[in-house]
A and B are shown apart, each in its own frame.
Chain A
Amino acid sequence: MDAEMARAQGDSGMRKLFIWLPLALFAVFFGLFASGLLKPDDRVITSKLVGKPLPAFELPAAASDRPGLASGQLATGQPRLLNIFASWCVPCAAEAPQLMALKREGVAIDAIAIRDARPDVDAFLARWGNPYARIGLDARSSVQIALGSSGVPETFVIDGQGRIAYQHIGDIRADDVPMILKRLEEAR
């Protein structure tokens, strides 16, 4: 179609562009796939919010059997994890076993469910396990944005004073668990 349109305009330069555009686009995707395959899994980045206190928020309950979450409840004197997840997010289901493992290690975990609905969250937790003490519902992603989190899943290490000690972007994999435990220890 594009080529046809260009032809109608009688513009041969444009037409050439359209003709080679699919190949160029494919080359971009190919590069993306190759980098995704070959790149070593180095996903550590430092957030600008590390060391800053949590933004103030107060969220309603996202699940039937857990209370909602307010920022004040995260400053308990002990380091905690704040997990950003959503029932519609597949990597979140993939990291659920790791969160359960962290809970078994005695780590306190709170969560914020992004753009979610209570029945979906209930079903998700019934299926993948519920490691959370409190779950707040962030229906419009406003708290997520305030936290400097760009997607799901993400996990924050919060120190005893309610400051962000570490931000983990993406799902927690099995070999990330010792690192998360170390970060929690450092935040103590």
Chain B
Amino acid sequence: MIAEFGLAALWLAAALALLQLGLAIGGLKGGRPELQAAIRPVAVVQGALTAMAFIALITLFMRSDMSVLLVATNSHSMKPWLYKFAGTWGNHEGSMLLWVTVMGVAGAAVALFERALRRDTHMATLGAQAAISLGFYAFLLFSSNPFARIDPPAPDGQGLNPLLQDPGLAFHPPTLYFGYVGLSVAFSFAVGALLTRQVDAAFARAMRPWVLGAWVLLTLGITAGSYWAYYELGWGGWWFWDPVENASLMPWLAATALLHSATVLATRDALRAWTVMLAVVAFSMSMVGTFLVRSGILTSVHAFAVDPERGSFILALLGIYIGGALALFGWRVGTVREGAPFELVSRETMLVINNLLLSVILGLVLIGTLYPLMTEAFGHKVSVGPPYFDRIAGPIALALMIAMAVGPMIRWRRDNASAVARRSMAPALVGLSVLAVVAVTSWGRIGILPFLGLVIALTVAVASIAPLWGRKPLRTPLFTWGMVIAHLGCAVSLGGMAADSAFTVEKLVAARPGETIETAGWRLRFDKILPVAGDNWTALQADMRVSRGGGAPVAIHPQSRFFTSPPTTTTEAALLTRWDGQLYVVLGQEADAGRWQMRIWWKPFVTCIWLGGTMIALGGLLALIGRERRGWTLKWRARRATAA
């Protein structure tokens, strides 16, 4: 019954999307902006229906209803409730339902809360959002129905991939999806503004909060995903340049560029065509990423159940939406009036540099990700690995960081080069002294990229708080605080990455219980190995006590887990976090009689990577609140003025 209810809600939502599109076309073509009043409730109800369908699927998973095919193939009645819940989106159909739910809910939010856009652009935006949703409804209903039944019902489910049985999975994909698919709003705004020829500063101001919101969630999702891969995969790495990771990184790069160019457009009315282009590219990257991951065209550790037929379906959607938006861009952008000019030494120029560098990184990551596909077109499939990405993207990212340090110190429109030099004196001095210290202490022992990374991270950290100098903290606008914290977060994250690759100490040992291992100032006493059992797994666990510098010993328990359904082994690394780094211990297999393989890392300041990511998201959130609050305050003042 619940499955049929969910399916009905989905069909109804699709019908409403069609109605929404029709109303928008009618309103725009017939020149009847009053139809906007009808579109709003349609969009809201459509969003509510998708949410209901999604809740129906969650209910089916929570109840372990084995008469539903999706539940039977991806869940198991013995699973802890949290993983039944999270299992809803740990598969192809469920995550596509989450996709249309986010699109529907985001469309409803635009219908309810967006008041700054002109009425006809607002209508066109909702029409565009409905048009994209329709394609994904069709995909879900015709080729990936999550509510399909099986007869007779399965006796029990086949289980969820044990790697995915982790509390992180409950929160990481939905956050990522809200950001990833939330960018569809920026796409629809761009299409709407191109249709009504309203690409201007007001459009950028209206679009910016939506982009910021999606970007904050995307940043959090990527940060969480990176940490999840770090502790769950047990390889000690935090980024693998896997196609799925790249699929989330590429929209983030485009959205970051969009955020900055939208600021130029909102503040100075420049970069009009480019901003619209980026708004189209950001969500296009989300769609391309989804295609790459689900068509099975690239091999990935994240592989979903792949199916070429589904691949063709998504490819057709890509062709229609991306091709359509780019054609509209080519056709209409000529009518976009020229933006305001600016001088060479100006904030605008720095933001243009930011955009160019981000775009170059985006292009290189895209090429690297598609490399197997490109070489296959010439007869053989070859993949490039982290060496390519690190070497190509690393130096450009460092250049980007330098631009980020200088940019906020330059004024809008026009500035004086010598004044800029004066203002950047302090950070430059810090940079030079760090350069000297690091060069003297560790020259030749660390690679050139980590070396530059450390120097640039500390320089940028100082430079990023420069905009606060000479200001009273409480009187500084919240969005300036947001920028400062986000930029500082970039520096912190870069510092963590550089420290991790420069100073990590790794040790591989085969130890007997009772032995003590020493590495990087730590003493690890290996007491015993014992079997332990969980809800749906059994494990071998090493009991260890670790201490450093004569401190009190702390117990840690790395495990090697065996899951029964499906039968798989995973490593549960033991992590011990200290202010200056993390101790990371992985229990391997039994080497020979009584000796156990263990891999021990001491990773100085590695946690800064994710701390920085969280700061970036927090900065975005503060900027969002700051901008919105300013809007409310202005509105409130205007209302009071008219009342008086």
Contact = CB atoms under 8 A, between A and B. Distances in A.
A88 B387 contact: yes
A64 interface: yes
Interface string B456-485: 000000000000000000000000000000
Contacts of A86: 385
B233 to A, nearest CB: 9
A19 B382 CA distance: 33
B644 interface: no
A19 B334 contact: yes
Interface in A24-38: 26-27, 29-30, 32-38
Contacts of B299: 90-91, 94, 171
Given A91-B381, A171-B381, A36 B297 contact: yes
A8, A26, A152, A171 — most chain B CB neighbours (10 Å): A26
Contacts of A64: 508
Contacts of B288: 29
Contacts of A7: 338
B291 A126 contact: no
B386 interface: yes
B433 interface: no
B527 interface: no
Given A91-B383, A151-B375, A126 B597 contact: yes
Given A1-B261, A1-B356, A26-B322, 9 more contacts: A1-B355, A7-B338, A8-B341, A23-B327, A26-B326, A29-B370, A90-B383, A93-B301, A119-B508
9 closest A-B pairs by CB: A151-B382, A88-B385, A169-B380, A1-B274, A170-B381, A23-B326, A3-B273, A20-B330, A88-B386
Interface in B137-182: none
A170 B326 contact: no
A7 B336 CA distance: 11
A2 to B, nearest CB: 7
Contact of B291 (A33, A91, A119): A33
B329 A169 contact: no
A43 interface: yes
A27 B273 CA distance: 20
B382 A3 contact: no
15 contacts: A1-B274, A1-B277, A4-B270, A4-B274, A32-B370, A33-B318, A36-B376, A39-B376, A43-B379, A43-B381, A45-B379, A86-B385, A91-B299, A126-B588, A151-B383
Contacts of A37: 295, 297, 308, 311-312, 315
A13 interface: no
B543 interface: no
Nearest to B384: A151
B372 interface: yes
A34 B373 CA distance: 10
A19 B377 contact: no
B235 interface: yes
Contacts of A151: 375, 380, 382-384
Contacts of A152: 382-383, 385
Contacts of A30: 315, 318-319, 323
B339, B385, B508 — most chain A CB neighbours (10 Å): B385
A123 interface: yes
